Amino acid sequence: MKYCLCFLVLLASYFSFAQTSNSILVKADRLFDGETMHTGWSILITNNKIEEVGVINTYPANTQIITIPGGTILPGLIEGHSHLFLHPYNETSWNDQVLKESRAERTARAVNHAKATLLAGFTTVRDLGTEGALYDDVGLKKAIEKGVVLGPRMMVATRAIVAKGTYGPKSDNPDVTYPQGAAEVTGLEEMSNEVRTQISKGADVIKLYADYRWGKNGEAMPTFTTEEMTLAVTIAKSSGRIVAVHATTPEGMRRAIMAGVTTIEHGDNGTAEVFKLMKEKGIALCPTVAAGDAIYQYSGWKKAVDPEPAGITAKKKSFALALQSGVTILMGGDVGVFTHGENWREMELMADYGMKPLEVLRSATSVNAEVFGYGDKIGRLKKGLLADVIAVEGDPSVDMKNIKKIKLVIKDGRIYNQ
């Protein structure tokens, strides 16, 4: 009876392990851990966590083994500037998407966009505004978390916040007021109320527009005062949230920097002085180079055939200044302006514009994770972090075009594409 009891205890322990253990071993020629490229390293996943990274010789007997000959293992990529509720402007203009597409249609499109993003190896997105679709990004985020639809982890900004009268769509008839693509505020009290409202609705990040095309001739000019943005930052940070700011003018960027924001988006006309100030204040830049590249092509530029537009030349110059300044550079393409699932276009262009490929990989993984406040969960291949893992053909640290050659996508320990 004694031996029988011991056997039953051992048997129960075995079945308990067999039912709860879900181990995956991924092997490839090399592994990028979010910081460094290692040759011959593998990764062991148990359930939804990373169990071991390195040269792995022992693992549970029931482990699923996936081998990617010639490939590279990486952390799941993090898209730093997305709009899942938009689709390419050469399909439908931004104005018509906001004014003529129903929210039901826009949500249906967003579901497809989320799936395409995940299967492209981007297991997390920072989605910076629904552009007229109110708080539907919160609903999409929850649907993904519940497993209703496929998609990446989402950090959402809901409506974004603009100064009254500066954003769009705009009517040529002053007697007609169109629905807006963001939340309009005037003054400190309305700014405070809007930030608090968005947090209550589920915003993970607050998005502000420090400047926009509201000048007398349609040129970009600053919108919010430093005081107004400082208030938004103070409220957001007291709740543990970061603040992302659209800014393309030197003065808009300067005001945002002095307000203490977390990230500046675009920075098209940033100067050496502005980037130096960003570096000193520890504020990161999300350059979104792929958005401008796409828009110029929509306007008729035949890339690699026609002369380079002045706007592209200027963007390359500002990007070079940012690199020289040592400012932290994020990876985020403003995808939605171009096709979801082609998020890699930003990474290719960052490398083309002079950033070292290994630095681009860091931007899309560990750097984004740290700046966004998720460094203790994702962005690296490290024991105890969530099992967001991808594998690609070849070595993207040598040729960034390899980043789109997806062979494996694992999010939260679950295989989505193999």
Here the tokens at position 61 are 């007997």
- Token pair for 399: 């040729």
pLDDT digits (tens, 9 = 90+) for 296-332: 999 999 999 999 999 999 999 999 999 999 999 999 9
pLDDT by residue for the chain (418 residues), tens digit each?
444 444 333 333 333 333 345 899 999 999 999 999 999 999 999 999 999 999 999 999 999 999 999 999 999 999 999 999 999 999 999 999 999 999 999 999 999 999 999 999 999 999 999 999 999 999 999 999 999 999 999 999 999 999 999 999 999 999 999 999 999 999 999 999 999 999 999 999 999 999 999 999 999 999 999 999 999 999 999 999 999 999 999 999 999 999 999 999 999 999 999 999 999 999 999 999 999 999 999 999 999 999 999 999 999 999 999 999 999 999 999 999 999 999 999 999 999 999 999 999 999 999 999 999 999 999 999 999 999 999 999 999 999 999 999 999 999 999 998 7
Give the span between the Cα atoms of 166 and 72, in whole angstroms: 46
Q: Positive or negative CA dihedral for 59, 65, 71, 77?
A: negative
Q: Which two tokens stand for residue 248?
A: 């393309």
Q: Give the residue extent of every domain in the chain.
A: 2-75+381-417, 77-372
CATH of domain 2-75+381-417: 2.30.40.10
**Residue 157 to residues 72, 160, 182, 201: CA-CA distances in angstroms?**
32, 6, 11, 10
Residue 173 to residues 131, 167, 170, 176, Cα–Cα distance (Å): 22, 15, 9, 6
> Which pLDDT score is estimated for 418?
75
| Domain 77-372 class, CATH top level | alpha beta
Contact between 86 and 105 under an 8 Å Cβ cutoff? The reply is no
Tokens describing residue 124: 């997390």
Backbone angles phi, psi at 176, to 5 degrees: -110, 130
Helices (H), strands (E): how many in the chain?
13, 19
Q: What pLDDT is recorded for position 21?
A: 52
